């Protein structure tokens, strides 16, 4: 195999504190989507990964994951956001009003 990965260069992209918060929300959601997909495929929690039994130790809440596993989800979120920005898109939070007219960032 002669495959050489060639990801978009994102080394020049830096985040504000607001984006750092978004990274954590996206990482949490990435885990939730992954967990829901596994559950829908018939997987369940198991103390060790067992493909034959469809058990995985990461089918648990994001807060209960080891930090190393949360870092995997964070890295995914970071790379997606950096790629979006490297391609010239901007990310900003907009204010919105709820049913009572209260404005939220």
Task: Detail the DSSP E strand segments found in the chain.
Answer: 44-45, 55-56, 96-97, 103-104
> To 10 degrees, the CA torsion angle through 14, 18, 23, 24?
140
pLDDT digits (tens, 9 = 90+) for 34-81: 999 999 999 999 999 999 999 999 999 999 999 999 999 999 999 999
pTM for this model (two decimals): 0.82
Please provide the average confidence, as pLDDT, over all residues in the chain.
Answer: 92
pLDDT at 105 over 60: no
């Amino acid at each position: 195999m002669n495959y050489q990965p060639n990801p978009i260069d994102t080394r020049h992209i830096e985040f504000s504190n607001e984006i750092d918060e978004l990274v954590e929300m996206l990482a949490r959601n990435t885990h939730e989507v992954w967990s829901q997909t596994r559950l829908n495929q018939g997987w369940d929690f198991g103390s060790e990964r067992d493909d034959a039994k469809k058990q995985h130790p990461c089918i648990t809440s994001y807060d209960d994951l080891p930090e190393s596993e949360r870092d995997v989800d964070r890295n995914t979120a970071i790379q997606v956001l950096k790629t979006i920005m490297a391609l010239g898109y901007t990310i900003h939070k907009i204010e919105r009003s709820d049913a009572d007219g209260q404005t939220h960032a």
